[in-house]
Structure 1
Amino acid sequence: MVRNEARRTALLDAAIDVLAEEGARGLTYRAIDAKAGVPAGTASNYFASRDDLMSEVAIRVTERLMPSDESIAESLALPRDKSLSVKFMHDIIKRADADKTSYLALMELRLEATRRPDLRTALTRTMADNLEFNIAFNEDSKLPGDRMTVILMYFAMTGLIYERLTLPGIVEPMDLDEVVEVLVDRAIGPS
Structure 2
Amino acid sequence: MASDRRTLLADSALGVLADEGIRGLTHRAVDRRAALPPGTTSAYYRTRAALLTALVTRLVRLDQAELETMPGQLPPLRTVEDLVDGMVLLTRQRLTGEGRRRSLARYACAVESVRDPELREILVPRENAGREAVRLFLAAQGVTDAEDRTHTLLTCLDGLVFDRLVSGGEVPREALEGLVVAALHRAPRPR
- Per the alignment, residue 45 of structure 1 pairs with 43
1:128 pairs, out of 124, 130, 133, with 124
**Cα offset, 1:88, TM superposition:** 2.6
1:180 pairs, out of 173, 176, 187, with 176
- Per the alignment, residue 32 of structure 2 pairs with 34
- Per the alignment, residue 144 of structure 1 pairs with 138
- Per the alignment, residue 97 of structure 1 pairs with 95
Count of paired positions: 177
Matches of 1:187 and 1:19 in 2, distance apart? Answer: 34
Please list the CA deviations of residues 94-121 of structure 1 after superposition, one character each: whole Å capped at 9, or x if unmatched.
Answer: 221232111111222222233x4xxx21
Report 1:151-170 matches (<5 A).
151-168=151-168
Matches of 1:161 and 1:32 in 2, distance apart? Answer: 27
Matches of 2:16 and 2:27 in 1, distance apart? Answer: 10
Matches of 1:81 and 1:177 in 2, distance apart? Answer: 15
In the alignment, structure 1 segments of 5+ residues that lack a partner are none
TM-score (norm 2): 0.79
| Amino-acid identity (%) | 25
Q: Does 1:22 align with 2:20?
A: yes
Which segment drifts farther, 43-52 or 65-74? 65-74
- Per the alignment, residue 73 of structure 1 pairs with 72
Report the secondary structure of 2:28's partner residue: helix
| RMSD between superposed Cα atoms in Å | 2.6
**Cα offset, 1:155, TM superposition:** 1.6
Matches of 2:156 and 2:122 in 1, distance apart? Answer: 19
TM-score (norm 1): 0.79
User: Contact between 1:20 and 1:102, CA under 8 Å: does it hold in 2?
Assistant: yes
